[in-house]
């Protein structure tokens, strides 16, 4: 799935090339629970190992982002280097 911003139904139809046997949104949603967490770990490691150099990093972190993308990561309130305080809205966000 591309997560292209379309409805799940449209994404499924696009992915399966408008085949008459395209699974329904309900069927797809029910099957997601069968995907093991290890599958996501494998995909993430495969992607990063194949696409990101291990020598170029920012303070020991590999940066993964595209122009205009948002990357949600866990916040570490104790690491001031990574935080930006927005006093107008009282929101703490990561700068990486």
Q: Is 48 within a domain?
A: no
pLDDT tens sequence across 13-26: 999 999 999 999 99
Q: Which domain holds residue 21?
A: 1-34
Residues contacting residue 55 through CB under 8 Å, at least 6 positions apart:
none
* Count of domains forming the chain: 1
Residues contacting residue 54 through CB under 8 Å, at least 6 positions apart:
62
Confidence of residue 91 (pLDDT cuts 50, 70, 90): very low
pTM of the entire predicted model: 0.44
Q: Looking at residue 67, what is its pLDDT? A: 62
Q: Is 28 within a domain?
A: yes
In the chain the beta strands, taken as DSSP E runs, fall at 83-86, 91-94
Q: Is 79 within a domain?
A: no
Q: Is 80 within a domain?
A: no
């Amino acid at each position: 799935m591309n997560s292209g911003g379309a409805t799940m139904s449209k994404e499924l139809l696009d992915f399966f090339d408008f085949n008459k046997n395209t699974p329904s949104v309900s069927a797809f949603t029910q099957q997601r629970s069968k995907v093991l967490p290890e599958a996501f770990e494998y995909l993430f490691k495969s992607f990063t190992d194949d696409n990101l150099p291990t020598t170029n990093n920012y303070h020991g972190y590999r940066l993964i982002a595209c122009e205009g993308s948002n990357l949600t990561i866990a916040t570490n309130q104790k690491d001031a280097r990574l935080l930006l305080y927005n006093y107008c809205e009282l929101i703490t966000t990561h700068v990486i």
